[in-house]
Amino acid sequence: MKKGAVVVNTARGAVMDEEALVRALEKGQISSCGLDVYENEPSVHPGLVDNPKVMLLPHMGTWTEETQTGMELWTIGNVRCALEEGRLKSRVGEQRDLAYDS
């Protein structure tokens, strides 16, 4: 990464190696970061908690009535698809090896 880059992760905690991120912040390779998901939730690396160049937030970007309703409908559709077709409409990487019985 370019020296002085800013890292923002609002996707999945597992995509970040927090230990490596702490080292990169200490060396100045990364100038700052903002996270609302964490590698080992609910634990957060102490080197991130204590660093003034780090903004840590709870994962709450989906807390609107419209988003919550949409997520509920999507989940119901996913359950139906799993039960009726043996597959999911949306599968995350951690689920790629799961088998589904119809």
12 flagged as catalytic? yes
Ranked by mean pLDDT, the top range of 12-16, 18-22, 42-46, 97-101 is: 18-22
Q: Which pLDDT band holds residue 28 (cuts at 50, 70, 90)? A: very high
59 flagged as catalytic? yes
Catalytic one of 41, 72, 80, 87 = 41
39 flagged as catalytic? no
For residue range 44-95, list pLDDT tens digits in order: 999 999 999 999 998 777 788 998 999 999 999 989 998 999 888 877 777 6
Question: pTM (2 decimals)?
Answer: 0.64
Query: Per residue, what are the HEC states of the chain?
Result: CCCCEEEEECCCHHHCCHHHHHHHHHHCCEEEEEECCCCECCECCHHHHCCCCEEECCCCCCCCHHHHHHHHHHHHHHHHHHHHHCCCCCCCHHHCCCCCCC
